[in-house]
Structures are given as C-alpha cells and as structure tokens.
Structure 1
C-alpha cells in the first residue's frame, strides 16, 4: 500500500472517531499521541478550544524516568497523567484513541489512567 493511501486511511479513521468523541468542560477529551520516541496526552475542552491538562514524556516531571513508548512506558505514563488530571480537578473524561486500535500501548495507557483516578 502506498504511503499516501495509508496516511489518508489513517486520517479518515481519526475523523470518524472525532465525529462522535467530543470534550466539554465537565467531561474533557483525552487525546493520546504516540511517536516512535515519546508519548503525549492532553485533556481538551472542545467547546472552548482549551487544553486543560497536558503531559508528555519530554516534560520536566517525567524527564528523568526514561519512559519509552511501549506497554511498560504507557503504564507509567498513564498513571502519571491520571494523577495530574485528578490534581487539576478532572474525574470523568472521554478517551480519544486517535484512530488507533484499543490494543497494546493505547490500552495500557487507558487502564493506567483509570488506575490513576480517571473515569471513562
């Protein structure tokens, strides 16, 4: 499959999911971004277009922990994100998996965030 076709199909999956997943102030959307080196997560209020909480493996809080974008790293990252979101006053969120399967790293992050105090 050509790279352009592959990217187009991935974009269509993201759009299809974003049609149904919408964040509000009471229930923000948790968007997860995976790269080959880092993990990024944000709690977003789509009504106002504001990021309420964000965390990345490159942030000062997690820089010394050497978190990699694998299942073990996603567990540590999810627990840290759940704790940070809970400290900011967030308890219930909706999860935006960004067109990825709910499997592996994505699933580990979601379960760890639940363990960290988020409900979704």
Structure 2
C-alpha cells in the first residue's frame, strides 16, 4: 500500500526518482503545488563533474547540489519521499549527502 507524503511550506518534500541511467531530486511544496528547486545528473554543472550517471558517487553529487540549493532558499527541514523504492544504493547515497550538508529529515 502506497501512502501519500505531503510537503508544506515549512517542511517541503524532497522527491527522489531513480531510473536505470539517471537520478532526479526535486523539492516540492504540495500546499502551493509548486516545485521549489530541482537537481539531477542531467543538469549542466553536475554532468561535467561525473563520468557515469548511474552510480552512488553521482547520487552523492546530486544530493549535495540539491542541499546547497535548498539552503540558499532558507530550507533546512524537509520530508523525504523515496517513492516506494528501498532505502539502499543510490537513494541512500543521495539522502546521506543531503544530511551531511545540514538538511534535517
């Protein structure tokens, strides 16, 4: 059973999507139905720093990038949405990189 995870203005939702080739992260405010910021292995500044886009080191770079963007916007607490994927591998690497940058969830 899938449960609904909702973000608010005070605690937006960090939604992580993992495909076979890439990983995507978005910070979403569900009350206003708005994407606040996003990052993925396809963005220009990340794409030039990685050699492979489907490994844990690429996920860590995306995690650090999304955390830095959210800190600039004044967001320090979020709700983590892994979309029914297990907390392992690339999802775990991204989440731990976000926590290392000081974002709490």
Corresponding residue number in structure 1 for 2:35: 51
Shift of 1:117: 2.4
Matches within 5 A, 1:65-84: 65-66=49-50, 68-84=53-69
1:112 pairs with 2:67: no
1:97 pairs with 2:82: yes
Runs in 1 of length 4+ with deviation above 2 angstroms? Answer: none
Q: TM-score normalised to the size of structure 1? A: 0.80
| Structure 1: tracts of 5 or more residues without a match | 1-12
Shift of 1:104: 1.2
| Among candidates 3, 18, 24, match of residue 8 of structure 2 | 24
Q: Which shifted more, 93-102 or 64-73?
A: 64-73
* Partners of 1:30 and 1:42 within 8 A in 2: yes
| CA RMSD across the alignment | 1.3
Corresponding residue number in structure 1 for 2:23: 39
Matches of 2:11 and 2:82, distance apart in 1:
16
Aligned length: 104
Structure showing greater Rg = 1
Matches of 1:88 and 1:62, distance apart in 2:
20
